[in-house]
Amino acid sequence: MLKLNKHHIFIIFIILLLVGVMGCAAAYTGTGFSHDKRISDYDSLSLNDILSKYSDTNCKPEAKGLCTHVADGDTITVEGVGKVRLVGVNTPEKGVLGSDASTFFTKKLCLNREVSLDIDDSKHTDKYGRTLAVVIVDGKNLNEMLLKEGLAEIMYMPPSEFYPYDWAGDNTHVASQTSASKNTSSSPTNDAGTYIGNTNSHKFHHPSCKYGVKISEKNKITFSSRDEAINKGYAPCNICNP
C-alpha cells in the first residue's frame, strides 16, 4: 500500500490548486454579455413595484407550475415541466459582471411562486433539452422585463415563435451574430435559402424576419436571390425590406 509523506501531500495539493486555477480561467462566459445593475437596485422593491411598470402580455399560458429553482437569470425549473430556458433573451453567465443581479431579479419574481409558460411552438426545446418559453408572472412577460431592465440581451435564434426585438427597450443590448450562431450551430434554422417566401401572401422575407420565421412549412418557399423571388411574382416584405 502506497504511503504518502508530507512531500507527496504538498505536491498533490499544488497540482489540485493549479487544476482549479486553470478551470476558473477557462470558465464559460457565454456571449460575454455583462451589465452594471446591482442587487441593491431591486432589493428594496416589492413584487408589485416591479410588475406595475409593465403592461399585461399578449402571450398565452400553455403550462403552469411552481418555480422550484432558479439557476440563473434566464433558466428556471418549473414543477411538472422541468428546466425552462427563457426564449429570446440571454443574461450574464455565472461569474460575469451582472449575473448576480439578473439571477436575483428572476428569483424575486419566480422562486416558490406559480408561473405560467407560453412554450415556443416553432422550437419546443433547446439542445440541452430545456423547454423554451416566455415565463409569465401575474400576467407580465418576464423575458420582456429582463430586457427592458437591462438585465438581459436579445438572443434571437430562429426558428422561433417569438421575436424578442418587440420586447426591447431603447438601450437593449443585442447578442452578436457570431455568438448567436455558435449557440445555434447544432440546431436547425430557417436559413435554407437566401430569402423565404410565403406561397399564400406571395411576399418574401429575410430569414430572420419576424414574419418570415412564422411561415408554416407547407406555405414556405426559398429563393437563392432577390431577383429569383421577384421574377417568380413575389413582393418584398415591407418590414424587413429584403
Active site residues: 85, 93, 130
Amino acid at 206: H
Distances (CA, A) of 76 to 83, 162, 182, 216: 6, 19, 22, 30
Let me know if 109 is exposed, middle or buried by CB neighbors in 10 A (0-12, 13-18, 19+): buried
For residue 106, the surrounding DSSP H or E stretch is helix 99-110
* CA–CA distance, 147 with 89 (Å, rounded to integer): 7
C-alpha cell at 97: 459582471
Q: Quick one: CA dihedral 162, 108, 128, 147, positive or negative?
A: positive
The Cβ-side half-sphere exposure at 101, using a 13 Å CA radius, reads: 17
Mapped onto helix, strand or coil, the DSSP state of residue 222 is: strand
Neighbours of 40 (CB within 10 A): 9
